[in-house]
Amino acid sequence: MDKKIKKIGILTGGGDCPGLNAVIRAVTRTAILKYNLEVVGFKNGYRGLYLGQTVRLDLDAISGILPRGGTILHTSNKDNLFRYPFIEDGKIVYRDVSDVGIQNIRDAGIDAMIIIGGDGTLTSARDFARKGVNVVGVPKTIDNDLALTDVTFGFDTAVAVATEALDRLHSTAESHHRIMCLEVMGRYAGWIALEAGIAGGADAILIPEIPYDIQKVAEKIIKRRHDGKDFSVVVVAEGARPISGELTISQVVEDSPDPIRLGGIGIQVAKQLEELVGLEARATILGHLQRGGTPTAYDRILSTRYGAAAVELVMEQKFGNMVTLKGNDMSYDSLENVIGKLKNVDPEGELVKTAKGIGICFGD
């Protein structure tokens, strides 16, 4: 017989993302107002689960957080309880301490966990589900690259921030007759670059899914000069790479579950275009501005829908699943099906074809 759900826990893991607080709010309000449940938050991601750092979430605790960026529970993108680092004899060793986290869930009297995060966080959620923990996942990433869901919350805000940056770069590019390159996040997927580039009127968009020839980008800018346009704006996804080259890595963080940090390709592209075209070029790396601050109205609504749907899955005891958006409807899919699968831009898809049809260059 299924156990009656009385108390749920919430955890936010991985990078911060606009809309996290809206999800926490929706989970808490739905759980309390609709089902009269208790809600507990684990602080600082999986580290807090290991250390037993909890906070009671009631209606007062989540009041006013809907428009706030970040997460009131805080987060960490370095703590994997299935491979947790310890220092022994001056060296880092890794141990599986997931049983400690499971015991802390039991000690807190929690019947089910709602875990909010991207691929890394949800991989651990799946692993906890395999060990018998009642888990429901909520997809979170500005990169929009999680499989089996149409849109992840935080993506719309990141695109809006990047689009505003392009609007501002246009005016300075035109004033100085410059090439302005904007590097945006997205890791191995080009969604932010593609949608912001279209919305912001970019002349070229370089994304991971379409390796580029810098000569062809230069030819596009030279043609614009012949047409009387002595400036150009180029959007570069951090995971973009030339046809004959590799990814540009800014650093390697050894103690992180995902040690590769991309970055610097925008500066590289700007330098090459300056040499090839003869126009002064500047690069702007948008960085964490895309992840911080107030979520858009769309992301607030989407986050609220994700949070409410996660509670419904818990009450239906459909554990081991992730909430998804399919068309206009909230649905779900197994965490087993989601993990390890990237949702990439289709180089032959309608969005890329639309961009090319209005004259945007992809360097291919």
* φ, ψ dihedrals at 191, nearest 5°: -60, -45
Q: How far is CA 190 from CA 29, 32, 272, in A?
A: 35, 39, 21
> Is the distance from CB of 263 to CB of 183 less than 8 angstroms?
yes
Can 143 be counted among the known catalytic residues? Answer: yes
Task: Give the helix/strand (H/E) hosting 191.
Answer: helix 191-199
Say how far apart CA 239 and CA 190 lie, in whole Å: 8
The continuous run of DSSP H or E covering 7 comes out as strand 7-12
Give me the catalytic one of 16, 79, 143, 145.
143
Q: Among candidates 279, 277, 201, 261, which has minimal Cα distance to 235?
A: 201
What is 220-286 written as a DSSP string?
HHHHHHHTT---EEEEEETT--BTT----EEEE-TTSSS-EEE--HHHHHHHHHHHHH-S-EEEEE-
The residues annotated as belonging to the active site are: 143
